[in-house]
A = this chain, B = another copy of it.
């Protein structure tokens, strides 16, 4: 891809019919991404369907196959790991840059893992594939990026409160169906989640590893270290699914090398790209998932000194994981190549 000469780009979306794929179409339109052709790829189940792609008009879904990628400049991946692995070589062979939201290649040393507000330069070291990080990881890192620049974070503790849409488009449907059944006395059906999520909490996202942490919990450590170029950073995380439709929230403790001034922290957060300081204790104002859904900024509040370690900062952040935590971050990576 020769970014200098092109004015408009042929963009493919692999997994275009899922929650993240649909949001990618929306975000490309909203951000006026210079699209020449928009090619929507999905499984054979969806092939042939005509979808409304907003400013890009009606687009017919094509079945993804090894020869689906010819002529594309950029492929945004919104498919599961197995699909991503199946097509990565065809995408690379086509010459397109593959910006993949799956976790298949995130920890591959040849694949940059990029949050454009934090490590945009890494994107240009790609060999055909750039990985989009985990949703909670993106939101947490955007929130603490300013603090980390004041003094390096040595230890990061996080307890997450993750929305049901993080499990895909069927997550909210299941939650609302269950809520209706609770209110009206019907049968509770589960499918997306292993247990009832309406009016409940499920302290498991992903499978369990040998160390007792879930795959989702390990991402904040493994991806956070790579994105921040801080391989020694200590990270300990608990991930919990909560009955919220959209926007993940995270209770964070960031312990820095030096003791920070709280006013400096607030200033750093308010000036950090992609962040908004929402922290007015006198008026009971703080980030909440309802207020942060369907937009791209990470809201940060409840900033205070940790009571256990004077070098620690406690905060609470919320961000829309389908947008900034997935679709928008991928489109922002693509924008790095539009000059």
Contacts and interface: CB of A to CB of B under 8 A. Distances in A.
B281 A195 contact: no
Main secondary structure of the interface of A (DSSP, over half): mixed
Interface string A228-245: 000000111110101111
A201 B244 contact: yes
Interface in A255-297: 262, 281-282, 284, 286-290
Contact of A302 (B238, B243, B282): B238
Interface string A133-174: 000000000000000000000011101010000000000000
A304 interface: yes
Interface residues of A, number: 59
A87 to B, nearest CB: 31
B253 A157 contact: yes
A199 to B, nearest CB: 6
Nearest to A195: B288
Contacts of A301: 203
Count of identical protomers in the assembly: 2
A200 interface: yes
A337 interface: no
Most chain-B Cβ atoms within 10 A of its Cβ — which of A199, A244, A314? A199
A308 B251 contact: no
A249 interface: yes
B240 A243 contact: no
A316 B236 CA distance: 13
Contacts of A262: 212
B286 A204 contact: yes
A179 interface: yes
Interface in A189-220: 194-196, 199-204, 208, 211-213
A307 B203 contact: no
Contacts of A180: 183
B306 A236 contact: yes
Contacts of A287: 203
A176 interface: yes
27 contacts: A155-B308, A159-B238, A161-B242, A180-B183, A183-B183, A195-B288, A195-B290, A196-B290, A199-B290, A200-B290, A201-B242, A202-B288, A203-B288, A203-B302, A203-B316, A208-B281, A211-B304, A211-B305, A211-B307, A212-B262, A221-B307, A236-B308, A236-B309, A238-B251, A238-B314, A242-B243, A251-B251
Given A179-B179, A238-B316, 5 more contacts: A159-B238, A195-B288, A199-B290, A201-B318, A202-B288
Interface of A: 155-157, 159, 161, 175-176, 179-180, 183, 194-196, 199-204, 208, 211-213, 221, 234-238, 240, 242-245, 249, 251, 253, 262, 281-282, 284, 286-290, 301-309, 312, 314, 316, 318
